[in-house]
């Protein structure tokens, strides 16, 4: 049976998801002098963490097409944030390397999320293990309810 508390929690979940979704749509300057949309900074971040991935691996990792990878990497190269190259033994596959400016953007992106996360981290640190387990279990259930087909 649904009560007022259940409804209030549902409304807060919807509000949080909306705020996060809106936040992801905002292009930001991460120290490069120009704004980067989420898709571009995400790809830079993934490349920085997986420097040996080729375009096919990146596409699989992100759940997008190789064509989408090609479009975003072209924009990033035009902005001077990365370069591309072919492996000597395989001229078909494209690999990527961040430039100094690209690395600066990734560092700025990490700092942005560290700052965003500090407030919630302070709250988590104020909780005991029992409360943290409840939150973790709730989030698992929430994820599972939307993952189920």
69-90 per-position pLDDT tens digit: 999 999 999 999 999 998 888 7
Position 2 scores a pLDDT of 81
Task: Give CA–CA dist 71/77, Å, rounded.
Answer: 10
* pTM score of the predicted model: 0.79
Task: Give CA–CA dist 65/60, Å, rounded.
Answer: 8
Measured between its terminal Cα atoms, the distance across the chain in Å is 24
Tokens describing residue 118:
């500090």
**Where do the structural domains in the chain lie, given as residue ranges?**
26-147
The fold of 26-147 is Arc Repressor Mutant, subunit A (1.10.10)
Tokens describing residue 123:
């709250």
Task: Give CA–CA dist 31/46, Å, rounded.
Answer: 18
User: pLDDT digit string (tens) for 34-57?
Assistant: 999 999 999 999 999 999 999 999
């Amino acid at each position: 049976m649904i009560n007022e508390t259940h409804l209030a929690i549902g409304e807060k979940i919807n509000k949080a998801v909306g705020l996060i979704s809106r936040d992801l749509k905002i292009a930001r300057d991460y120290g490069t002098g120009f704004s980067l949309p989420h898709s571009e900074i995400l790809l830079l971040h993934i490349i920085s963490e997986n420097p040996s991935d080729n375009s096919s691996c990146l596409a699989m990792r992100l759940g997008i097409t190789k064509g989408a990878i090609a479009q975003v990497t072209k924009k990033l190269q035009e902005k001077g944030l990365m370069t591309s190259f072919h492996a000597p033994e395989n001229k078909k596959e494209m690999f990527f390397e961040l430039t100094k400016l690209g690395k600066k953007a990734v560092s700025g992106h990490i700092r942005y999320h560290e700052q965003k996360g500090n407030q919630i981290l302070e709250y988590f640190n104020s909780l005991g293990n029992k409360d943290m387990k409840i939150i973790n279990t709730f989030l698992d259930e929430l994820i599972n309810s939307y993952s189920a087909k």
